[in-house]
Structure 1
Amino acid sequence: MADAGLTALRQFSFTTRPYLAVDDATGAPIGLDDLDVRVGWMLDLISGAETELISRLWQSATFDVLAAGCDSHGRKLPMHGHVAAARLGWTPHYPDGVYVPSRVTRVVTAQAVGTLRALAYRDTAITALSARFDPATGRIAAPTTAAEYVPPGFARGVVRQLTARSHRTAGAADARLRITDMQAPPQTSAMARLSAADRQLAHMTVTDAVMTLTVTLPTTAAPTARAQWRRVRLTAAIPPHLHRRPISEWHLPTLVLDHRGLLLRCAATEAVPAADLTSGTTAVGVDWSPSTLGVAAVATQTPEGVVSDYRGFTYDDRGLGIKLARLQTEGQLLHRKAARLRRLAAAAPPAVRAQLEEKIAVLDGHRTAVGVKRAKINREMAFHFGCQVADFAAAAGATVIAVEDLTTLETRGHGHVNNNRAAQSARRQAVGALTHTAAGVGVTVVSVPARGSSALCPGCNEALSRPGGYHRAWCVQCKIGGNRDHVAAVNLAKRALLGRGKAVRKRGRNPRIRVIEHAPVRQCRDKMCPTPSRQRHRRVRRSAPAATPQVGVNQTKTVPAPQASVWDTVKPATPQGVTGSREVHTSPTPATSVVGSMRSM
């Protein structure tokens, strides 16, 4: 484990909802419905100005400037988006007669520049791939230099765009294509990132498990003067799991409106134990499995070499994977129905077209609801998986958790349905959840190459045989084998141990090991991996009244079989209720926060 005296700072996010809103100047209470309306007015102004600015800047010259990273005078562009936009002269436009404070304009330009910077990489990749694209065969030539390399999954998406464009243009090939030639300006979400502003627009204080956010909101849909922007003080509860965490800084949230009203997406910085990759000798490998979300195994480096007991820990998704597969199939079916109705409506009479558009709207609503369900289940399963693997690594005394590099991991050879199902699993979200939970116990998550982890023997590095089918692996030379996912996890843990001294660190990403080194992994008879505790579930009791026995008759007592719910765990519910509800919290649980008042980022 890491040294207890060393700490590191990390950021994490959480959500909450305000349960009280008052006018900052007069102290008059504001209804939560009125608050949602006023926040919606500000979000409409921000999203409209952001969409107009991105559409006006959707030119090749914009991406040339962002790729170069310099302004017209050769000076390096600042990191902050609103400062870079001010230097380049990118100013949003608002409707005539509408007054918007300059701090709100900062939010608009920061979000617009962030979107354009994210698309600058795609513009460079499209230019490089279009030069090597053959419209006749629909294929791209191999890259000649390392700078032309593009991840295969990303390249396939660009090839589909290039193929569709060649069909529209009757096979005419252009020497240099840009992102502006391939697609329209992106659609942006209605949100307000307050971190781009200063205290004149918003500031926040946190005391006694209560967060107080003061933000300037319009009083009308089209404000015409400064007086129609007033400060509103919002009060929200900090989630109970953050009450005793060593939070060093609270950051300004992002305002979003959903079906329940105003949602605050907050971020904070806390101190966690610092981990050193080169200090530990035990690693846990996590292999993504098509049947379950992941499998973990332990490998230890000793003076005699790398050893492992080849006994893996298989994650139990509690039936959520089956539910996700069903929802995915349902969403695809709704998408196909809506697409067919759109094709029929294009050539239908006006009366029939109106009826078809109503049906299309219903199908789109159902598909959106299915997507929301899938997102909730994916988040729940990702964090449950992260907690299980982090506890497994901490019990094994590991300091490193090796996961497959998702940029090189591609699902193929399992059929269209299984490939699509595995590709849409929440693996990236699970990696983020695992990184967050593992950092709390001083364990570092590193990315290792995925190629050959399930096909090669950890001992002799030769190809494995499949005597018992796809899920079984056996090495004739080393006489070791078992579940192929467990063997793959041992390979990943070995790669992390051998290459931990050559890990590449980039800001905002997990450390990456790019070179595969081999050393024989000897099978150890001693038990190395801990036995995971079984998750006990609550008993589901039916509310049906018991039958009254007849007098004078001895009846056999029948005890029904206990039924377990995949949603409920043994963790007791918090007495405070659901965090972020619209009920007023009179006496919140006090927190041991490090700071009580924090400024913006």
Structure 2
Amino acid sequence: MSGPGSTAARQFSVTTRAHVAVDDATGEPIGLDDVDVRVGWLLDLVAAAGAELVSRLWQPATFDVLAAGLDRQDRRLPAQGHVAAARLGWTPFYPDGVYVPSRVSRVVTAQVVATLRTLAYRDTAIAALSARFDPATGRLTAPTEPGDSVPAGFARGVRRQLAARGGGGAPAGRLRITEIQGPPQTSAMARLSAADRQLAQITVTGRELVLTVKLPTSPTPAGRAQWRSVRLTAAIPEHLHGRAVTDWHLPTLVLDGRGLLWRCAATELVPADDLDSAAVAVGVDWSPTSLGAAALVAEGADGLSSDYRGWTYDDRGLGIKLARLQTEGQLLHGKAARLTRLAAAAPPEVRARLEAKIAVLDAHRTAVGVKRGMINRELAFHFARQVTDYATAAGAQVIAVEDLTTLETRGRGRVNNNRAAQSARRHAVTALAHTAAGVGVTVVSVPARGSSAWCPGCDEPLSRPGGYHTAWCPACQVGGNRDHMAGVNLAKRALLGRSKVTRRRGRMPVVRVAEHAPVRRCRDKNGPTPSRPRHRRVRRSLPPTTRRVGVNPKQHVPAPQASVWDTVKPTPPHGDTGSRDTRTSQASAPPVADGMRST
């Protein structure tokens, strides 16, 4: 149901940590360190069983079944991973003498099936690309069937894999994913959403979440008695207080440097989107200099109009910090790779020292990666809040972003291309969709091709009179920053294609075709007024500085403190203010040593 005042349910994720743990049977408190140890035992069992199941299923027949989506009785496989695994007979194995509840096996199979289903698409694409790969030239021929087309970036990665494996020989028919790469590594986590109340359940008490979960009491539990229920209590984050959260789902348990971390999912009610009645749209263009820029387009009785004055996001210097951390990580990676090559041919005693250095470099590189992830998250949500506030102030109902699947950073040099490719664009889109949905604004993906190269008014190529960052249309007499012009094009495509939006479960709406309509320049007040810089604070408690009279009267700074060498200089004649035209005689000055000796 859509319309004014209607709501829609959406899911979001949040992280939290437990601050109280008690035994569910006896009510005795349990230390959080002990809980971390017991959760670690659970994750070890899940990770070991998952890795063994993935390696056992790593064969082409597995991906054939997943691609067909049918079981042995030609019935459609269910969406739940653990149910599909039970239909297919995929059961995890555990060491002899270890007892694991069947609900934990559900968690294992659900995670394994989700991973294999993700790789089934890659297996199909590799089979199609390997048939078109020429080992002599290392190139891919043009696709002959419409289903063989894959994104360009994905095709380049597969081509590198095929070139590294081929070694100059012709591949025998179509290759599968199992032939060019090994089984993926499984993460140490437990998705409790695949289980039921016999393993875990979650309740809400005031502003706290109470999770009851069965954990092993030893690393190799031998029976059911060595699995005991633990009641964990965690606080709901403050930014969720007052939000219309209707349901909390079972979390995913992971261990990080600080201990047990909950990755919770929740369902809340947000204003429903109404794209058919949208009249104002904001277009967001990904900029090579900053994370993004936005522009506004409004639809009225006389067509589309825009003031062609956009807004550019200020990352507060976080982009420079990310570039520095990226360079540091690349240097650490290069040094570790060089030491690895040296250690391969070094004597045993030298190899041990080199391996210790490599371990230190890997630890530093991991720390740099964690820091980059934290900055990217902060940057993405700050950008999302700024764009959402800009759209809300302008009264927009739609935010148009470029389709990231067709957007590639090329032609700006190796360093700039790599830096732009490492930016947090996808994180920013996810954060923007989440933040904008909370105020009833819909984020739509539109085609990116030609957005900054074509005029929004006449759809003709733009000129670059001032260089790369400027754009001008001689026919329409409009121009400005190229990112702002691209934002106008993106917003126009969202308004023109709002009735032809493709919706898929779990993804944002997509406009496939870029339509054109002239956007006239309007001087009306449509966009929000940019904030002006505040006046600089002046501390009134400081004493006023006296004006310095001397060589440079423009500098109103206090005179420096006199030194002992200044005391021996002669006094200038009467009426001399120390200008450049008057030179004092040094003959009458006593020697410095005499002056100091007389004191």
Could you tell me the TM-score, scaled by structure 1's length? 0.89
Q: 1:279 is matched by which residue type in structure 2?
A: S
What is the rounded CA distance, in whole Å, between the counterparts of 2:510 and 2:370 in structure 1?
Answer: 32
Distance 1:537 1:555, change over 3 A: closer
SS at match of 1:278: helix
Residue of structure 2 aligned with 1:263, choices 261, 264, 270: 261
Q: Deviations over 1:159-188 (max 9, x none)?
A: 110111112xx3232211000001000011
The equivalent residue for 1:456 is: 454
The equivalent residue for 1:7 is: 7
The equivalent residue for 2:354 is: 356
Residue 517 of structure 2 is aligned to residue 519 of structure 1 = yes
What is the rounded CA distance, in whole Å, between the counterparts of 2:534 and 2:233 in structure 1?
Answer: 37
What is the rounded CA distance, in whole Å, between the counterparts of 1:448 and 1:239 in structure 2?
Answer: 34
Whether the 8 Å contact between 1:166 and 1:173 is mirrored in structure 2 is yes
Distance 1:10 1:451, change over 3 A: same
What is the rounded CA distance, in whole Å, between the counterparts of 1:343 and 1:469 in structure 2?
Answer: 45
Q: Deviations over 1:201-239 (max 9, x none)?
A: 000111211110000000001000000000000010000
Residue 61 of structure 2 is aligned to residue 61 of structure 1 = yes
Residue 62 of structure 2 is aligned to residue 46 of structure 1 = no
- State how 1:22-421 maps to structure 2 within 5 Å: 22-167=22-167, 170-421=168-419
What is the rounded CA distance, in whole Å, between the counterparts of 1:136 and 1:455 in structure 2?
Answer: 37
Bigger RCO of structures 1 and 2 (CA < 8 A, at least 6 apart): 1
What is the rounded CA distance, in whole Å, between the counterparts of 1:279 and 1:555 in structure 2?
Answer: 62
Whether the 8 Å contact between 1:38 and 1:217 is mirrored in structure 2 is yes
SS at match of 1:211: strand
Report which stretch shifted further, 524-533 or 57-66.
524-533
Whether the 8 Å contact between 1:281 and 1:301 is mirrored in structure 2 is yes
What is the rounded CA distance, in whole Å, between the counterparts of 1:5 and 1:352 in structure 2?
Answer: 71
Distance 1:504 1:538, change over 3 A: farther
> How big is the shift at 1:536?
7.8
Q: Deviations over 1:17-70 (max 9, x none)?
A: 000101000111111111100000000000000000000000000000000000
> How big is the shift at 1:517?
0.6
SS at match of 1:22: strand
Whether the 8 Å contact between 1:404 and 1:449 is mirrored in structure 2 is yes
Q: 2:473 is matched by which residue type in structure 1?
A: C
What is the rounded CA distance, in whole Å, between the counterparts of 1:320 and 1:114 in structure 2?
Answer: 35
> How big is the shift at 1:531?
2.0
Whether the 8 Å contact between 2:546 and 2:557 is mirrored in structure 1 is no
Distance 1:57 1:465, change over 3 A: same
> How big is the shift at 1:479?
1.0
Report which stretch shifted further, 411-420 or 146-155.
146-155
Whether the 8 Å contact between 1:402 and 1:446 is mirrored in structure 2 is yes
Residue of structure 2 aligned with 1:504, choices 492, 502, 505: 502
> How big is the shift at 1:423?
0.6
Q: Deviations over 1:415-473 (max 9, x none)?
A: 00000010111100000000000001101101001000011111111111111010011
Whether the 8 Å contact between 2:280 and 2:396 is mirrored in structure 1 is yes
Provide the alpha-carbon RMSD of the alignment.
2.0
Q: Deviations over 1:483-528 (max 9, x none)?
A: 0000000000001111111111111111111111111110111232
What is the rounded CA distance, in whole Å, between the counterparts of 1:282 and 1:479 in structure 2?
Answer: 23
Identity of aligned residues (%): 74
What is the rounded CA distance, in whole Å, between the counterparts of 1:416 and 1:224 in structure 2?
Answer: 57
List runs of 5+ in structure 1 lacking aligned partners.
Answer: 561-601
Q: Deviations over 1:99-155 (max 9, x none)?
A: 000000000000000000000000000000011111111111112222111011111
Distance 1:284 1:356, change over 3 A: same
SS at match of 1:324: helix
Residue 476 of structure 2 is aligned to residue 478 of structure 1 = yes
What is the rounded CA distance, in whole Å, between the counterparts of 2:533 and 2:110 in structure 1?
Answer: 45
The equivalent residue for 1:567 is: none
What is the rounded CA distance, in whole Å, between the counterparts of 2:379 and 2:557 in structure 1?
Answer: 33
> How big is the shift at 1:331?
0.5
What is the rounded CA distance, in whole Å, between the counterparts of 1:505 and 1:137 in structure 2?
Answer: 41
Whether the 8 Å contact between 2:452 and 2:483 is mirrored in structure 1 is yes
What is the rounded CA distance, in whole Å, between the counterparts of 1:92 and 1:534 in structure 2?
Answer: 62
Whether the 8 Å contact between 1:284 and 1:299 is mirrored in structure 2 is yes
What is the rounded CA distance, in whole Å, between the counterparts of 2:164 and 2:204 in structure 1?
Answer: 53
Whether the 8 Å contact between 1:210 and 1:238 is mirrored in structure 2 is yes
> How big is the shift at 1:347?
1.0
Q: 1:105 is matched by which residue type in structure 2?
A: S
Q: 1:434 is matched by which residue type in structure 2?
A: L
Q: 1:365 is matched by which residue type in structure 2?
A: A
Q: Deviations over 1:383-405 (max 9, x none)?
A: 01111111111111111100000
Q: 1:154 is matched by which residue type in structure 2?
A: F
Q: 2:123 is matched by which residue type in structure 1?
A: D
Q: 1:358 is matched by which residue type in structure 2?
A: A
What is the rounded CA distance, in whole Å, between the counterparts of 1:504 and 1:423 in structure 2?
Answer: 27
Whether the 8 Å contact between 1:455 and 1:463 is mirrored in structure 2 is yes
The equivalent residue for 2:591 is: none
The equivalent residue for 2:423 is: 425
Whether the 8 Å contact between 1:202 and 1:214 is mirrored in structure 2 is yes
SS at match of 2:432: helix
Q: 1:179 is matched by which residue type in structure 2?
A: I
Could you tell me the TM-score, scaled by structure 2's length? 0.89
SS at match of 1:328: helix
SS at match of 2:523: coil
SS at match of 2:74: coil
Whether the 8 Å contact between 1:85 and 1:109 is mirrored in structure 2 is yes
What is the rounded CA distance, in whole Å, between the counterparts of 2:532 and 2:187 in structure 1?
Answer: 41
SS at match of 1:407: helix
Q: 2:10 is matched by which residue type in structure 1?
A: R
Distance 1:333 1:380, change over 3 A: same
> How big is the shift at 1:559?
12
Distance 1:555 1:460, change over 3 A: closer
Q: 2:141 is matched by which residue type in structure 1?
A: A
Whether the 8 Å contact between 1:392 and 1:532 is mirrored in structure 2 is no
Whether the 8 Å contact between 2:545 and 2:557 is mirrored in structure 1 is no
Whether the 8 Å contact between 1:3 and 1:273 is mirrored in structure 2 is no
Aligned pairs, how many? Answer: 547
Whether the 8 Å contact between 2:43 and 2:188 is mirrored in structure 1 is yes
What is the rounded CA distance, in whole Å, between the counterparts of 1:307 and 1:44 in structure 2?
Answer: 60
